[in-house]
Structure 1
Amino acid sequence: MLRITTLNLNGIRSAYRKGLADWLAAACPDVVCLQEIKIQDADLTEDMRHPAGYTGHFHPAEKKGYSGVGLYARVPADSITIGMGNAEFDAEGRVLRADWPTFTVVSAYLPSGTSGDERQAAKYRFLDLFEDWMGGLMQEHKDTGREFVLCGDWNIAHHEIDLKNWKGNRKNSGFLPEERAWLTKIFDDHGWVDVYRRLYPDATDEAYTWWSNRGQAYAKNVGWRIDYQVATPGIAAHARRAAVYKDTRFSDHAPLTVEYDWD
């Protein structure tokens, strides 16, 4: 089995203080995609760079304490590619690609638009660019047979089933009609697969991966499913099980792990 985990850390230093290293040692995922590391390269400790059994790769944002993605791998990748080739969003540390002989894993952190109109406009710019970039990956898949798994915090809940309070969020970033339509286009028009939904089409409360820090959202499980593994059809068909780990809180997000029957 190939076990892939995605987790928005909301700060790598905080996640390590809350026991992330112990969880990694116990859970033993093969690849771990990290988002919102919120650290500069010079500030990464050796334990953060290479926890026991892993090789780490990172793409921090230029702005301190902001965004950034990373990836841990038990088997070192053949190659690492940083960014999408776009100056605006590569400076924010949004995308990291890791290649192995037959498949690729991407750690992606899509922007949030919750802080206001300016960031929502930036989010829409990113979605346009990311759609084109994903189109290039799908073409590579068709041309070469390489399979792709894109992991990360997408900051969009796709359907009403994907968040508890969907009626109250219809006009809020993360559940806007335009954002949801974009995801539908990614799946229905471009051929990408929402792996968790393929496995569990009717899952509700157990599918949530993020909870607001306001009120008692976590205690009451008033959550959102905004962390995804999105894959090309070949490897998606090899997904056998998935789970959201909630026993220990490393972040306001929870790790989503999918097991693939894949060498």
Structure 2
Amino acid sequence: MRIATFNINGIRAARRRGFEQWLRERDPDVVALQEVRARAAAIPPGVFGGYHLAYDEGVHAGRNGVAILTRHAPDAIRTWSGTALVRGPGEVHTDTAELDPVPLARGLREFAAHGRYVEVDLADAPITVASLYLPKGGLPAHLQKPGRMREAPDGGARYERKMRFLDGFARQLTRSRRDAGARGRDLLLMGDLNIAHTRHDVRNWRRSNQVEGYLPKEREWFGSILSPRTLVDVVRSRNPDTDGPYSWWSWLGQSFANDVGWRIDYHLATPGLARAAVSAGTDREPAADKRMSDHAPVVVDYEL
């Protein structure tokens, strides 16, 4: 079973850059998408081919939005908002479906309507698949230096917001993993986590210790959700002690050409499923002008 995660940075832009061709040629069985960035009515007709779609667009127009594409209609769909756009192949309706409510861990309520999380129970495999778009965050107040930041200083507000999300999501993730296990399913969490875990996940790691996404507390949190008995970083398990494979590069300068990237897009799987991975990596485009997004798809083949 081929499973992919891809932050597409806008479905309309990704389509212009070749998303449909990638989907046809790679032919994944399941795809988790982040930053779809489109209202239901604005999703280009036919862009998802013959896949079933479960999509939480969120309340912020032009931002966020997470989806999962599957070959077969999923057995169940869950979002934090309690609603989702559910479409079969060829359907174009824009009506959202009311879903069974998901009890949220403490601290996540403020993020519930932001279009950051959707999960489905696959119909053709005993797996619960989740797509997550974790907030990018910012710098803590003591690291903010006016004139040396691309964004205006905010006193650490974006950093604190991300920390609140991480705190609540750790509890929610434990609940999701246990609930999946109780249903006889593995859990596969995929998406853009906006954190590079180790120095092998950032090309310029020495310079990045004071950069959001590689801050010590972020990396410590990432390590706390992984263990051989809970969740395994599948791509790293298949590529130990090597730099990358990176999944994000800045649009600026020669970052892509020089492979100055970050690995921030992940497959995190319960141990049984992680052991079934037979290949894992990123679909890095051959040249900068061929890129579909500032991220690359992360694709894993599982022998189930």
Same fold per superposition (TM over 0.5): yes
- Cα distance change on mapping 1:142 and 1:47 into 2, 3 Å: closer
Using the TM superposition, give the Cα deviation of residue 119 of structure 1 relative to its aligned residue in structure 2, in angstroms: 1.5
Structure-2 residue corresponding to 1:255: 297
RMSD: 1.6
Higher relative contact order (CA 8 A, sep 6+): 1
Using the TM superposition, give the Cα deviation of residue 203 of structure 1 relative to its aligned residue in structure 2, in angstroms: 2.5
Alignment partner of 1:165 is 2:189: no
Q: What's the TM-score, normalizing by structure 2? A: 0.81
Using the TM superposition, give the Cα deviation of residue 135 of structure 1 relative to its aligned residue in structure 2, in angstroms: 0.7
Give the distance between the partners of 1:190 and 1:65, measured in 2 at CA: 38
Q: 1:66 aligns with which of 42, 63, 66?
A: 63
- Cα distance change on mapping 1:135 and 1:45 into 2, 3 Å: same
Residues 66-215 of structure 1 aligned to structure 2 (within 5 Å): 66-83=63-80, 85=104, 86-101=108-123, 102-114=126-138, 117-188=156-227, 191-205=230-244, 207-215=245-253
Alignment partner of 1:20 is 2:62: no
Using the TM superposition, give the Cα deviation of residue 137 of structure 1 relative to its aligned residue in structure 2, in angstroms: 1.9
Give the distance between the partners of 1:120 and 1:61, measured in 2 at CA: 21
Native 8 Å contact 1:135 1:190 kept in 2: no
Choose between structure 1 and 2: higher helix proportion.
Answer: 1
Native 8 Å contact 1:163 1:223 kept in 2: yes
Q: What's the TM-score, normalizing by structure 1? A: 0.93
Residue deviations 1:53-103, cap 9 Å, x none?
A: 211121112111111111111122111111264442122111000102511
Give the distance between the partners of 2:45 and 2:251, measured in 1 at CA: 30
Using the TM superposition, give the Cα deviation of residue 45 of structure 1 relative to its aligned residue in structure 2, in angstroms: 2.8
Native 8 Å contact 1:11 1:36 kept in 2: yes
Give the distance between the partners of 2:61 and 2:180, measured in 1 at CA: 35
Alignment partner of 1:44 is 2:43: yes
Give the distance between the partners of 2:68 and 2:30, measured in 1 at CA: 7
Amino acid at match of 2:114: E
Structure-2 residue corresponding to 1:219: 257
Using the TM superposition, give the Cα deviation of residue 44 of structure 1 relative to its aligned residue in structure 2, in angstroms: 1.6
Q: 1:56 aligns with which of 53, 56, 60?
A: 53
Alignment partner of 1:231 is 2:269: yes
> Quick check: 208-217 or 23-32, which moved more?
208-217
Structure-1 residue corresponding to 2:282: 244
Residue deviations 1:207-250, cap 9 Å, x none?
A: 10001122211111100000000011111110110121112411
Unaligned runs of 5+ residues in structure 2 are 81-101, 139-150
Using the TM superposition, give the Cα deviation of residue 143 of structure 1 relative to its aligned residue in structure 2, in angstroms: 3.3
Native 8 Å contact 1:141 1:232 kept in 2: no
Unaligned runs of 5+ residues in structure 1 are none
Percent identical = 40
The alignment partner of 1:23 has SS state of helix
Pair member with larger Rg:
2
Give the distance between the partners of 2:181 and 2:67, measured in 1 at CA: 27
Native 8 Å contact 1:156 1:179 kept in 2: yes
> Quick check: 125-134 or 78-87, which moved more?
78-87
Give the distance between the partners of 2:31 and 2:51, measured in 1 at CA: 9
Native 8 Å contact 1:193 1:236 kept in 2: yes
Give the distance between the partners of 1:56 and 1:177, measured in 2 at CA: 37
Give the distance between the partners of 2:12 and 2:157, measured in 1 at CA: 29
Amino acid at match of 1:234: G
